[in-house]
Structure 1
Amino acid sequence: MPFFAYKGRNAKGELMQGVLEGADSGAVADQLFGNGVTPLEISPTSRAVTSSGEEESWLDRMFEKKVTSMDVQLFSRQLYTLLKSGVPIMRGLAGLQESAISKSFGKVIKDLRESLDSGRELSAAMRRHPDVFSNFYLSMVRVGEMTGRLEDVFLRLFDHLEFDRDMRERVKTATRYPMFVMIAMLLAMIVVNIFVIPQFVKVFESFNSQLPLMTRILIASSNFMVRFWPALLGFSVVAFFGWRSYINSTEGRMWWDRVRLRIPIAGKIILKGTMARFARSFALSMKSGVPMVQALTVVSQTVDNAYLSSRVEQMRDGVERGESILRTAVAAGVFTPIVLQMVAVGEETGSLDDLMDEIGQMYEREVDYELKTLSAQIEPIMIVFLGAMVLVLALGIFLPIWDLGKAALHK
């Protein structure tokens, strides 16, 4: 439906302005009258409007800071506190909009208020912002609306988002140093091939003798890089965007996500971190009163790995056919025997949600240990790779000079 910018006055005579969505200007006028606002001006608009009613320029929207996961996390906690204290949701959203530090998130809250004013449910209003609220977040809010436990759902969403953000930050912190070292080594190889080896070639040409095999290989690779660097650069750009396009496709993402789990050292961290999010999300869904089949459907959307998501959907299909959660977990082939044993106990005792929470904590502790020892596991590999590169350069560059020195001594 189109958007309309409006100006009007409320019962106190205060000027009100903003943007509403409606079938036509008459529908927007009806919404305003229903909210106690007398419209003065209603006009179609397709541009964003600031909280002061002024239209934003494209330059302002381009440099505007995007909504972060921290904004959504704090919003969940604040909304839980307000609802728990008995504050009406419209008053709570109005207060959150006024105190919002992020302008972009303030606009999101403003749109939520306007959507609620027009008769939408909160989950439907949030669904208008898919880049801010994930499918899992929307599903949980919908469950909270259906069960009347919206404040509890927001508290659990806050805990879930905090856990997820902490997990991602620790992975980034642990991989920052190895990535920096690898990039530095790659740049060093490029500099050596383009600037260093060509200078040694001039010296080697004056020897008038057969150069060692390693030296000839280094010279050939350097000449190739110096001569064809535009083609290599173009090929790298094309390969990068081609790779991005492939892994963004359904088939490519499925293949890459499956391969990622088999990468030495990093694969097991990705698997355990993803399974920790799965267990925490599953426990949260069940504690919120979501039926198991629907919970598995919702949780499959939180697993940021297409292959593992397909395994979760396979579990859901098995449960729909009447199979036990244990049998479907065994068939998925991604859980360890200890986890399967805990699932069996939880299913027998009817406390599967609590045990899934324990499974999430167990995976979280394992990920924490793996991240703490990640540098120690990667350092030997980097040292071997760096030593091999230095050895190749030493043999290729200094061996001819060594042979020339020996020949001069014999003379």
Structure 2
Amino acid sequence: MARFTYEGRDSKAIRRGTIVADNKRDAAIKLKNQGIRVVNLSEQPETVLTKDIMIGKPVKREQLIMFLRQFSTLLQAGVTIVDAVRILSLQVEQPAFKKILISIQEDLRKGTSLSDALAKHPKAFEPFVLHMINAGELSGTVDESLDRLADHFEKSYRTRQKVVSALAYPVVVGIVAVGVVIFLLSFVVPMFVDMFEGIGGELPWLTLFVLAASDWLQNYWYVLLLLVTAIVVGILMLRNNPQGKYVLDSFLLRMPIFGDIVKKSSLAMMTRTLSSMFSSSVPILQSLAMTERVIGNKVISKVIGESRQSMERGGSLTEPMMNHWAFPPLIPHMIAIGEQTGSLDSMLAKVADFYEKEVEAATERLKALIEPIMIVVLAAIVGTIVLAIMIPMFSMFEQIDSL
């Protein structure tokens, strides 16, 4: 999309301004439809000030869910696809998303299919959405595909939020604990050093340890900063490397307590995605390939790829899953039953429902368990530092009393 500066006249006065269009011809047609007779039209060069700056995804997950749900409702009510997109573009407040919907509306008016129009905006609509809508177009059930997509993203989003919430709590409390310890060692403990030196005699080992930690932190704080930076950079580098990402994801799945939640969440995502695609009559090999790309966990993704390759060779879909530690027996058994009964989509949906409920129950248990544990750990750390300061002071008070 380009930006054009125009000058023209309508029935009342001279009009000047800017308009966004694919090319100069489209810009002239837009202005004509607005009742403006163009006198001068020129493309505006793109600069830092005129360029649309977009950070992250232009469409948030909750906005996409709402869009898909409303789109489906409008189509079921008999509204045409073009009018439905126009109505939704008027309701959207986010400028980036509104601009995308206006562009889609223009493409639809030119005769472009919905899936092809959406495909021009890969940052907003991922390949999974395009495949589902394309399958709906081929079968004449676009409204049902949109509804399935909304259900899929809504359930996946809710499960993901529960996992993030469960994992975020101990991380936040841990950061607070480290911050409190650094504050005490850097600012509070040094205030008592001169007092301890005046007491004389031998200090308790706990006090000596805390004083040594405080002295090290004041003199070599940059080492701690470099260490944290190195860890963060190392993790980011591993995530950007396919083999490193596989190692990190494998570690996450094997973690005590948290690993079980992450694994169940990934399996729920996998089965939900496959169920949605099978329900839309997407071919099984294409569904497996798309699910392999959608799943964020590389360990699960690799097994799905092996299952796809097994089917391409004429083998079994479930064999790679049965022989892998990340897949519980429930999944290959349910898939085998679904294949035998011809109800693979509904069977996978039941498995997804099961694991989503398991994730919800596990996160609730984790929150109830980890809150008192983190409070006790934080109290023990702070209490140890306070105790290390107080023990010599008690000795000093005893010496004063003896005098």
TM (norm. structure 1) is 0.83
- Map of 1:267 onto structure 2: 259
Contact persistence 1:7–1:39 (CA under 8 A): no
Mark the runs of 5 or more structure 1 residues left unpaired by the alignment.
Answer: 49-54
Deviation sequence 1:148-184 (CA, Å, 0-9, x none): 3211110100111111222223234444543442222
* Residue identity matched to 2:283: P
Contact persistence 1:315–1:332 (CA under 8 A): no
Q: Distance between the aligned counterparts of 1:193 and 1:144, measured in 2?
A: 63
* Residue identity matched to 1:277: M
* Residue identity matched to 2:96: S
Q: 2:131 aligns with which of 139, 164, 171?
A: 139
Q: Distance between the aligned counterparts of 1:217 and 1:109, measured in 2?
A: 63
Q: Distance between the aligned counterparts of 1:395 and 1:385, measured in 2?
A: 15
Q: Distance between the aligned counterparts of 1:150 and 1:369, measured in 2?
A: 35
Q: Distance between the aligned counterparts of 2:278 and 2:342, measured in 1?
A: 11
- Map of 2:185 onto structure 1: 193
Contact persistence 2:19–2:27 (CA under 8 A): no
Instruction: Name the CA shift for 1:321/1:37 in 2 (closer, same or farther; >3 Å).
Output: farther
- Map of 2:100 onto structure 1: 108
Contact persistence 1:71–1:105 (CA under 8 A): no
In terms of mean alpha carbon deviation, does 93-102 or 293-302 score higher?
93-102
Q: 2:248 aligns with which of 241, 249, 256?
A: 256
Deviation sequence 1:125-167 (CA, Å, 0-9, x none): 2223222212211221222223332111101001111112222
In terms of mean alpha carbon deviation, does 146-155 or 275-284 score higher?
146-155
- Map of 1:348 onto structure 2: 340
Note the C-alpha offset of 1:206: 0.9
SS at structure 2 position matched to 1:210 = coil
Q: Distance between the aligned counterparts of 1:141 and 1:207, measured in 2?
A: 79
Q: Distance between the aligned counterparts of 2:55 and 2:235, measured in 1?
A: 28
- Map of 2:212 onto structure 1: 220
Contact persistence 1:5–1:18 (CA under 8 A): yes
1:330 and 2:355 are equivalent in the alignment? no
Instruction: Name the CA shift for 1:164/1:46 in 2 (closer, same or farther; >3 Å).
Output: farther
- Map of 2:279 onto structure 1: 287
Contact persistence 1:65–1:104 (CA under 8 A): no
Q: Distance between the aligned counterparts of 2:84 and 2:5, measured in 1?
A: 23
1:160 and 2:140 are equivalent in the alignment? no
Note the C-alpha offset of 1:30: 11
* Residue identity matched to 1:44: E
Note the C-alpha offset of 1:403: 4.4
Contact persistence 1:31–1:118 (CA under 8 A): no
In terms of mean alpha carbon deviation, does 39-48 or 359-368 score higher?
39-48
Aligned pair count reads 396
Contact persistence 1:287–1:353 (CA under 8 A): yes
Q: Distance between the aligned counterparts of 1:119 and 1:303, measured in 2?
A: 33
Deviation sequence 1:163-210 (CA, Å, 0-9, x none): 122222323444454344222212110111011111121111112222
1:19 and 2:20 are equivalent in the alignment? yes
Instruction: Name the CA shift for 1:90/1:358 in 2 (closer, same or farther; >3 Å).
Output: same
1:298 and 2:290 are equivalent in the alignment? yes
Note the C-alpha offset of 1:109: 0.1
Contact persistence 2:5–2:44 (CA under 8 A): no
Note the C-alpha offset of 1:254: 1.9
Q: How well do the aligned residues superpose, as a CA RMSD in angstroms?
A: 3.6
Deviation sequence 1:261-306 (CA, Å, 0-9, x none): 1222221111111111111111110010011111111112221212
* Residue identity matched to 2:114: L
* Residue identity matched to 1:265: I
* Residue identity matched to 1:300: E
Instruction: Name the CA shift for 1:264/1:8 in 2 (closer, same or farther; >3 Å).
Output: farther
In terms of mean alpha carbon deviation, does 352-361 or 250-259 score higher?
250-259
Mark the runs of 5 or more structure 2 residues left unpaired by the alignment.
Answer: none
Contact persistence 2:288–2:308 (CA under 8 A): yes
Contact persistence 1:193–1:222 (CA under 8 A): yes
Instruction: Name the CA shift for 1:321/1:32 in 2 (closer, same or farther; >3 Å).
Output: farther
- Map of 1:357 onto structure 2: 349
Q: Distance between the aligned counterparts of 2:296 and 2:342, measured in 1?
A: 28
Identity over aligned residues, as a percent?
A: 30
Contact persistence 1:278–1:303 (CA under 8 A): yes
Contact persistence 1:314–1:332 (CA under 8 A): no
Q: Distance between the aligned counterparts of 2:298 and 2:186, measured in 1?
A: 41
- Map of 1:51 onto structure 2: none
SS at structure 1 position matched to 2:117 = helix
1:382 and 2:374 are equivalent in the alignment? yes
Contact persistence 2:181–2:382 (CA under 8 A): no
Note the C-alpha offset of 1:230: 4.3
Note the C-alpha offset of 1:390: 4.1
In terms of mean alpha carbon deviation, does 171-180 or 356-365 score higher?
171-180
Q: Distance between the aligned counterparts of 1:267 and 1:75, measured in 2?
A: 33
Instruction: Name the CA shift for 1:236/1:337 in 2 (closer, same or farther; >3 Å).
Output: closer
Q: Distance between the aligned counterparts of 2:183 and 2:234, measured in 1?
A: 26
Q: 2:86 aligns with which of 78, 94, 98?
A: 94
Q: Distance between the aligned counterparts of 1:316 and 1:31, measured in 2?
A: 49
1:211 and 2:212 are equivalent in the alignment? no
Deviation sequence 1:43-93 (CA, Å, 0-9, x none): 435659xxxxxx9746x8579995321221111112212222332211221
Deviation sequence 1:76-130 (CA, Å, 0-9, x none): 1122122223322112211211222323211110111223344543223222322
1:44 and 2:43 are equivalent in the alignment? yes
